[in-house]
Amino acid sequence: MNKLFSLLFLLSLSLSINSCVEYENKDERKKRESEIQEKVSWEIDNSIDSKVINSDLVAGKMTIDVGIYFPSNLDKAFKKVTLDKMIESFKAAKEIYKPTDVQLNLLWVKTGKVNPSFFSIQANETPGIPRTEYVNMYQHMQRHPAVLTKHAKAAFEHIVEPDKDNHRTIYLIVLQEVFYPFLDVSEGRNWMIKSVRTGGMSFPTYSYLENLPNRFRGVMTITNLSRPDRFRRTIAHEIGHKAMNVSHEYMEQDPENEVFAEGGLMLYGQGEDIPSGEKGRWHLERLHLSPFIYRMSADGIKQWNLDYKEGGHYYDPIYGKKIIHFSSKPPINENW
Ligand SMILES: [Zn+2]
């Protein structure tokens, strides 16, 4: 009988210890969750004089507004992006867009403490349906838009301050790592999941459509400007994904996840060209139609371009005939 009692006592003791441990974990989790839900308290970085950087702006010209969020508490070992490199890359982007008549307006540079859980994010959920030969990349993305991960969405909630022009503004957010998973053919009729560590990620509307909440439509992450070619082109290239609303394509080169070639700004190479006309896949014309562009009127009111009509897929009606129809190459042997 005594043995039974001591057994029961031990059992109840272990139960109460277990529930106590569980209680503590729940508490910690709640604390962590509320910390994540807190917003960053951003402050303007006065070491950057945006007036000087913007001194070349001309009133009445096509303009894109850009804000830079630079976390103040990044890991000490992270040196891939510095504030100097960001500003250099932004200035280079201004130069690259000069021939297009579009000017970039630096709204501000802000610093503040970001929750470290957001230093590294996965941009989108792993896609389940690969692109095949029946429709091209843009049609495929229109049918199966990328899905922002919950963690990435929470990061943007935490970082981007609410503003009436959120959906018309480009936000360059410096983070340490942004992974982008995609499907690639491995062999035969098998696909595999690859995840690329991005140096810059534009979260383009042709890919996410309305899965990217309107408030975050302008977010872009910058994670590596360490090589000279990267800091020269990265910001301009990423703005191109947003503002031309195209993937990696140029002249007769159809879009792909990765295209290593020279010439165009929208390829992986040294190119900075933004071509025009049908031969140039309407890059310049699409840029000029971008909902991120406004002209300042004489009385200081921003006259915005038309907004997307169908969530901003590649063939959105705002582009009219400034679109390219092309077929898709079979990704695997047709006799599979
Ligand atoms: Zn790109």
pLDDT the model gives residue 89: 96
Q: Each residue of 200-252: pLDDT tens digit?
A: 999 999 999 999 999 999 999 999 999 888 889 999 999 999 999 999 999 99
Residue of 162, 178, 194 whose CA lies nearest to 234: 178
How far is ligand 1, taken at its centre, from the CA of residue 283, in Å? 14
Q: How confident is the model at residue 296 (pLDDT cuts 50, 70, 90)?
A: very high
Using only C-alpha atoms, the chain has a radius of gyration, in whole angstroms, of 24
Q: Each residue of 70-83: pLDDT tens digit?
A: 999 999 999 999 99
Q: What is the mean pLDDT of residues 141-169?
A: 97
Q: How far is CA 118 from the centre of its chain?
A: 14
How far is ligand 1, taken at its centre, from the CA of residue 7, in Å? 65
How far is ligand 1, taken at its centre, from the CA of residue 179, in Å? 13
How far is ligand 1, taken at its centre, from the CA of residue 248, in Å? 6
pLDDT the model gives residue 182: 94
pLDDT the model gives residue 23: 57
Mean pLDDT of the chain: 92
How far is ligand 1, taken at its centre, from the CA of residue 30, in Å? 38
Q: What is the CATH number of domain 40-319?
A: 3.40.390
How far is ligand 1, taken at its centre, from the CA of residue 250, in Å? 12
The domain spans of the chain are: 40-319
Beta strands 170-174; 219-222: pairing state: parallel
Distance (Å, rounded) from C-alpha 265 to C-alpha 226? 19
Q: Is the pLDDT of residue 153 over 70?
A: yes
Distance (Å, rounded) from C-alpha 189 to C-alpha 336? 7
Q: What is the mean pLDDT of residues 316-331?
A: 96
